Amino acid sequence: MKRILKEKKYFMLFLIIISSTFLSSCDGVTITDPIIIFFSADVTTITEGDSATLNWEVTEATAVTIDPGIGLVDLIDFISVFPTVTTTYTLTATNSCGQLLSPSTMTAMVTIAVNPAIVE
C-alpha cells in the first residue's frame, strides 16, 4: 500500500513539473488559441494575368503562414498574388499555449477563381 502511495506522489509530482514547464513557455500570458480576426481578398475572381490582394489580421499567434507558396508572414499584413489557376489560399495561425502540451492551430481559407485570358 505504501508503495502505491509513493508511486502516486511521484506521478503527481511529474504532472506538476510537466504542467509548470509548459506554462512557463507562455511567459505568463493568458492561455488562448490563436484568433484570426479576418482573412480576405479584395476580389475573388480575376482574369489570368491579373492580381488579387490577400489581407489578414491575427492575434495570439506565434507563427502565421499562408499556403500555397507564400510561407511565413506577419500577424497583420497584405500581399498581392498572381494565381494562374483557381487557387485556395489557407492561412494557418499557430501558438504553443492554446492547448495543454500541444500547439494550437486555427485556419481560414480564401479562394481566388481565375478565368482564362481572352485571346483575340
Q: Give the per-residue pLDDT at 4.
A: 57
**Which fold would CATH assign to domain 31-115?**
Immunoglobulin-like (2.60.40)
CB 53 within 8 A of CB 68: no
Alpha helices in 1-120 (DSSP H): 2-24
Burial of 97 (0-12, 13-18, 19+ CB in 10 A): buried
Task: Say if pTM beats, i.e. exceeds, 0.85.
Answer: no
Q: Where are the domains of the chain?
A: 1-28, 31-115
Looking up cell 513539473 gives 17
Q: Give the per-residue pLDDT at 104.
A: 87
Give every residue of the chain whose pLDDT is below 50, as ranges. Answer: 24, 98
Residue type at position 41:
A
How far apart, in whole angstroms, are the C-alpha atoms of residue 35 and residue 42? 21
Nearest Cα neighbor of 19 from 31, 7, 8, 36 is 31
Q: Give the per-residue pLDDT at 14.
A: 58
Q: Give the per-residue pLDDT at 24.
A: 47
Q: Give the per-residue pLDDT at 5.
A: 52
Q: Give the per-residue pLDDT at 119.
A: 81
What are the grid coordinates assigned to 19, written together? 504542467
Omega of the bond prior to 68 within 30 degrees of 0, cis?
yes
Q: Give the per-residue pLDDT at 32.
A: 81
